[in-house]
């Protein structure tokens, strides 16, 4: 599966598990990637888009963390850029949980573990 398909599967799982994990209603995507024209890229940069920002954010506090950031990668392959590594490092320094998840299953399990931690 592509990274796009892995992330779509995670969002579908999250939407179908709102009764068990109501906090998943707050999970959102950060559409930072993709190919854009130079003009569109410049406009987005002017609006505050930053390189390396994780794909998903769950702004829910758990066990000392303020929020949970997930950088999605496809299960087989998918390199983490230096900008993404730096973003994850910065999020951790600010008291957030931040991970790279290789595929839907890894991301789903990480969300479950995060949400089942004590508040």
What pLDDT, in 10s, does the model give residues 62-107? 989 999 999 999 998 889 999 999 999 999 999 999 999 999 999 9
Q: How confident is the model over 2-44, as pLDDT tens digits?
A: 999 999 999 999 999 999 999 999 999 998 766 677 787 778 7
HSE-CB for 18 with a 13 A CA cutoff: 7
pLDDT band at 118 (very low <50, low <70, confident <90, very high): low
Residue 119 has pLDDT above 60, yes or no: no
pTM: 0.91
Report the top-level CATH class of 3-116.
alpha beta
């Amino acid at each position: 599966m592509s990274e796009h398909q892995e992330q779509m599967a995670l969002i579908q799982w999250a939407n179908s598990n709102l009764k068990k994990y109501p906090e998943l209603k707050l999970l959102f995507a950060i559409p930072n990637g993709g190919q854009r024209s130079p003009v569109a890229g410049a406009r987005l940069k002017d609006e505050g888009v930053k390189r390396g920002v994780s794909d998903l954010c769950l702004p829910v506090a758990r066990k000392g963390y303020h929020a949970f950031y997930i950088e999605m990668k496809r299960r087989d392959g998918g390199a983490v850029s230096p900008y993404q590594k730096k973003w994850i490092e910065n999020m951790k320094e600010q008291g957030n949980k931040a991970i790279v998840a290789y595929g839907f299953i890894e991301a789903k399990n990480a969300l479950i573990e995060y949400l089942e931690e004590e508040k």
